[in-house]
Structure 1
Amino acid sequence: MLDDDHRALYHDVVSAVLPQAAQHYLETLMKLKNYEYQSDFARHYFGEGKAEGIAEGKAEGEVESAAKIILRVLAARGVCVSPEVRTRITGCGDLAQLETWAERAAVVSTAAELFD
């Protein structure tokens, strides 16, 4: 995938050589939400970016769900959760760590014991 500097450079070079009508048409296409890319290059890189975005969103969702589960288990068991502990749990981006804490949440007496 191109970095921001190269994208801007390519756009500038292409825009500089296009007639005014073609520039306007290109800008209109770029604003369309459901535009279907015509070149193999664009379809490949757009598809790759979309797949990466979906994977990232799924991973973020799993992390958020794991944190919520930990907090729900602790609440259901009557274990008090301080703001600091809540922040540590919800701020953790490591799914494996959250899964470990989720297992501990079922047996700890205090929320601080999650981190022992």
Structure 2
Amino acid sequence: MAVDLSFYTSPLSEEIRDEGRAEGRVEGRVEGRVESHAEGVLLILNVRGIEITDTTRDRVTTCDDLELLRRWLAHAAVVTTSDQIFDDVAPTDR
């Protein structure tokens, strides 16, 4: 008995695959931005000579919230310890 595979070459099937590819590209870009921001947080702390605790490194590298990473990135520019990046308000007395 032959199996009807015509669906897989139909316009609807092509549309579904195209949507999946587009979603995959968007997800990939977001993941790339998340990784980039996490690397940026750690880089700024490192360049500033601030010791990065294992807890901080783990928390930053496992975070997948882009807005939160952006906040931590801004904090990394002004904090005096790596754990301070997680504070709601970064020190501004510099």
Scaled by the length of structure 2, the TM-score of the pair is 0.84
Instruction: Give the distance between the partners of 2:83 and 2:64, measured in 1 at CA.
Output: 18
Match of 2:70 among 99, 109, 113: 99
User: Which structure exhibits the higher relative contact order, with contacts defined as CA atoms closer than 8 Å and separated by 6 or more residues?
Assistant: 2
Matched, 1:49 2:20: yes
1:76 maps to 47
Moved beyond 4 Å, runs of 4+: none
What RMSD over aligned residues (CA atoms) do the two structures have, in Å? 1.6
The structure where helix makes up a greater share of residues is: 1
Ranges in structure 1 where 5+ consecutive residues have no aligned partner: 1-16, 27-36
1:64 maps to 35
Match of 1:79, SS state, is coil
Instruction: Give the distance between the partners of 2:46 and 2:65, measured in 1 at CA.
Output: 22
Shift, 1:101, TM fit:
0.4
1:88 maps to 59
Provide the aligned length of Structure 1 versus Structure 2. Answer: 85
Instruction: Give the distance between the partners of 1:107 and 1:82, measured in 2 at CA.
Output: 17
Match of 1:48, SS state, is helix
Match of 2:12, SS state, is helix
| Identity across the alignment (%) | 41
Shift, 1:38, TM fit:
3.0
Ranges in structure 2 where 5+ consecutive residues have no aligned partner: 88-94
Task: Work out which of the two has the higher radius of gyration on C-alpha atoms and give 1 or 2.
Answer: 1
1:29 maps to none
